[in-house]
């Protein structure tokens, strides 16, 4: 999702250099990525680009750990009928799992630069969302889940590769911020309408809504990936991973709902 990390640097100034500052870094003191000397985007020095690559690798390492935890918890929920029944049959527990991630985002944002608190809250945040994803997968046909997983993986990989390529060519995606925020508000409003007993949506509109949500979060993947490349400071690795993690999960859920609605129509 759109970046909210605007806190001032806590690490030494020599370590946290935002790309906009375009400060000169001695390239000979840094191991250049892959030995090519190519920079992430125009206007950044080679040494700064190498530091940026280190930050990118760190964020994707954390993101990979989050996705592995989500996969493991989801598989446990699907393969353990008792756990799935407990999570599905308890409205109170379902409400807690739905609300708790939003509550945890407050201390997660506050302690994002403080170790080990940041990783503790990140783990709890990921665990809560993983159970919700597990319940959604457990109550959906395995074929549909697999299709949604394959489509999500393909979309994320292609959009990530495209954003890195476009950034290297000097393209900008900052203009997407207001557009995506407006689209997100629209999705939230439609979600409330969909959940309402007075304005229920049929399977056709639900499939269309799923496609719209998938399109919006595809845009968020491009926008947040560019923030990772150009705008996040080097201490923002926790929040950067949270943004991409939420983008991927929402993309998966919207694709899952779209496929499920289309199959129910047939």
Instruction: Summarize the confidence of residues 237-252 as an average pLDDT.
Output: 95
Structural domains of the chain, count: 1
Is residue 210 situated within a structural domain?
A: yes
Residue 239 has pLDDT above 90, yes or no: yes
Structure confidence by residue, pLDDT tens digits, 149-195: 999 999 999 999 999 999 999 898 989 999 999 999 988 888 877 76
Residue 207 near residue 254 (C-beta atoms within 8 A)? no
Q: Give the separation between CA 236 and CA 258, rounded to whole angstroms.
A: 33
Residue range(s) defining the domain that contains residue 195: 35-265
Is residue 16 situated within a structural domain?
A: no
Is residue 18 situated within a structural domain?
A: no
Is residue 10 situated within a structural domain?
A: no
Q: Give the separation between CA 53 and CA 204, rounded to whole angstroms.
A: 44
Is residue 103 situated within a structural domain?
A: yes
Residue 3 near residue 246 (C-beta atoms within 8 A)? no
pTM: 0.81
- pLDDT given at position 20: 44
Lowest mean pLDDT across 24-28, 85-89, 162-166: 24-28
Q: Give the separation between CA 41 and CA 213, rounded to whole angstroms.
A: 29
């Amino acid at each position: 999702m759109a970046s909210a990390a605007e806190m001032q640097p806590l690490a030494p100034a020599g370590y946290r250099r935002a790309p906009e500052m375009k400060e000169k870094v001695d390239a000979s003191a840094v191991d250049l990525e892959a030995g090519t000397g190519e920079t992430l985007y125009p206007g950044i020095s080679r040494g700064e680009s190498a530091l940026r690559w280190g930050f990118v690798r760190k964020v994707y390492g954390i993101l990979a750990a989050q996705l592995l935890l989500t996969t493991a918890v989801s598989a446990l929920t699907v393969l353990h009928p008792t756990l799935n029944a407990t999570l599905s049959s308890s409205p109170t527990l379902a409400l807690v799992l739905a609300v708790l991630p939003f509550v945890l985002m407050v201390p997660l944002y506050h302690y994002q630069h403080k170790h080990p608190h940041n990783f503790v809250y990140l783990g709890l945040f990921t665990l809560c969302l993983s159970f919700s994803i597990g319940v959604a997968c457990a109550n959906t046909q395995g074929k549909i889940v697999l299709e949604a997983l394959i489509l999500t993986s393909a979309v994320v990989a292609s959009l990530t590769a495209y954003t890195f390529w476009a950034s290297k060519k000097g393209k900008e995606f900052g203009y997407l911020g207001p557009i995506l925020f407006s689209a997100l508000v629209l999705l939230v409003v439609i979600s409330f309408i969909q959940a309402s007993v007075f304005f229920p949506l049929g399977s056709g509109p639900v499939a269309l809504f799923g496609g719209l949500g998938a399109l919006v979060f595809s845009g968020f993947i491009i926008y947040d990936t560019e923030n990772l490349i150009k705008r996040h400071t080097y201490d923002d690795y926790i929040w950067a991973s949270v943004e991409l993690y939420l983008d991927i999960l929402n993309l998966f859920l919207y694709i899952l709902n779209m496929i499920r609605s289309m199959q129910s129509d047939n």
